[in-house]
Amino acid sequence: MKKLLAKIDEVVERINVHPEYSSSLRTREFNTLLAEAAKHSLSLELEEENLKKSALRKRERVALQNLDSASSHLDMYGLSLGTLAALGYLIEPDKNKTRNFRITEVQFGSFNPPHDYDQIAGRMKSLVELMEHSQAHPVLKAIEAHLEIVQVHPFVDGNGRSARLVQGYCLKKSGYTPGIIVPSDREHYIALLNIALKDRYAKTSSFEKPSDGENLFRTFVATKVLGSARRLEEDLRAQRKYVVTLVDVPDRAIVISTAQRIRSYGHHIGGQGVKVRILDIECSGRKDKVLDVTGDIGYKQVNGIVTKCALDYGFKTSVHSKSE
């Protein structure tokens, strides 16, 4: 587990500090991952509902809107006992009639979660305190939120979605990408979750001393976090942007040749490709050429290619990263 968490940290650190990754693009791509995670989280449960296509589409649309409202609720007010208590109502208002924890007994699978309101509220309060004060790795804390909410089942319905939503919120708050669990992983996910829950109910596993079974679940979720982090990094790499200014270029054919050399680099390394647009600008009475470069190529490589062309053809150049 330590090696897996270290790999996640390495990728996240590169994403957060890389000078060539646009912060606005990073935010947009991160939000795309969050939206995908929410959609798949819902799909994990909709598969159990035997609905016609038209009814399923309507159910999905409303449920996604509810998940978005619950997510915005956490983003705005943070994680507290009060915001946690309201999640059931926000996610599944037809089944959870109030913005509070359940006062009726529920059962899921072979498990019998706590039925006393005070016990439920106490467990959720302890969870919030753990999230605030524990010095454990953020990914492990997020997984603990996932497990504890499912184990306690604080709502009449919507507990799985609540658990995955809070896990995603905790990850996002600490700068980590979501653990996206796709529908094709549903059976494996539920099997591992049940193993971890069985050990929790038997009191043979805990946050501080997880059982082998719980570690399997932790590894599963952490692997999903690593996968989404790597995907985000790949997307950012493929959309790096640069402005290349070519000054006093004697011939437009040279501009075209320089642009083609940059494009060829993307094909040569087997990456996701590099796009180059040629722009004309008026500067101090002379016409300079600007290359708008987007793609899987680093500043060092762009600058090296352009500098070589400048030496070969006799013009001046500058390269700037569009990191914002």
CATH number at residue 258: 3.30.70.260
- 76 and 212 belong to one structural domain: yes
The CATH number covering residue 143 comes to 1.10.3290.10
State how far the Cα of 162 lies from the Cα of 154, in Å rounded to an integer. 10
Size of the chain, expressed as the number of residues it contains: 324
State how far the Cα of 293 lies from the Cα of 136, in Å rounded to an integer. 42
- 144 and 290 belong to one structural domain: no
- 287 and 230 belong to one structural domain: no
- 116 and 252 belong to one structural domain: no
- 196 and 267 belong to one structural domain: no
Model confidence pLDDT, tens digit, residues 145-184: 999 999 999 999 999 999 999 999 999 999 999 999 999 9
Residues 166, 78: contact at Cβ < 8 Å?
no
- 22 and 131 belong to one structural domain: yes
Residues 101, 120: contact at Cβ < 8 Å?
yes
pLDDT over 70 for what percent of the chain?
90
- 48 and 135 belong to one structural domain: yes
In one-letter notation, the amino acid at residue 279 is: L
Mean predicted lDDT score pLDDT of the chain: 88
Confidence of residue 47 (pLDDT cuts 50, 70, 90): low
DSSP three-state, residue 35: helix
Confidence of residue 283 (pLDDT cuts 50, 70, 90): low
Model confidence pLDDT, tens digit, residues 99-135: 999 998 888 877 888 889 999 999 999 999 999 999 9
pLDDT at 286: 59
Model confidence pLDDT, tens digit, residues 5-21: 999 999 999 888 776 67
Confidence of residue 324 (pLDDT cuts 50, 70, 90): low
- 229 and 293 belong to one structural domain: no
Residue 172's alpha-carbon distances to 125, 157, 166, 316, in angstroms, are 21, 24, 10, 44
Distance from CA of residue 16 to its chain's centroid? 13
Domain boundary among 200, 215, 236: 236
Matching residue, tokens 């996604």: 64
Domain boundary among 205, 236, 267: 236
The residue among 47 and 259 whose pLDDT is bigger is 259
- 45 and 138 belong to one structural domain: yes
- 261 and 202 belong to one structural domain: no
- 250 and 157 belong to one structural domain: no
281: containing domain: 240-321
* Region of poorest pLDDT, from 108-112, 194-198, 317-321: 108-112
In this structure, what DSSP letter does residue 320 have?
E
Model confidence pLDDT, tens digit, residues 220-270: 999 999 999 999 898 888 888 899 999 888 888 999 999 999 998 876 655
State how far the Cα of 194 lies from the Cα of 204, in Å rounded to an integer. 14
pLDDT at 55: 67
The candidate with the shortest Cα–Cα distance to 9, out of 230, 307, 306, 287, is 230
- 94 and 137 belong to one structural domain: yes
Give pTM, 2 decimals: 0.83
Q: How many domains does the chain have?
A: 2
Domain boundary among 208, 236, 264: 236
H or E element, residue 249:
none
State how far the Cα of 196 lies from the Cα of 174, in Å rounded to an integer. 24
- Phi, psi at residue 207, to the nearest 5°? -60, -45
Beta strand 286-295 with 316-321 is unpaired
Residue by residue, DSSP assigns 148-217 as: HHHHH--SSS-HHHHHHHHHHHHHHHTT-------GGGHHHHHHHHHHHHHHHHTTS--SSS--HHHHHH
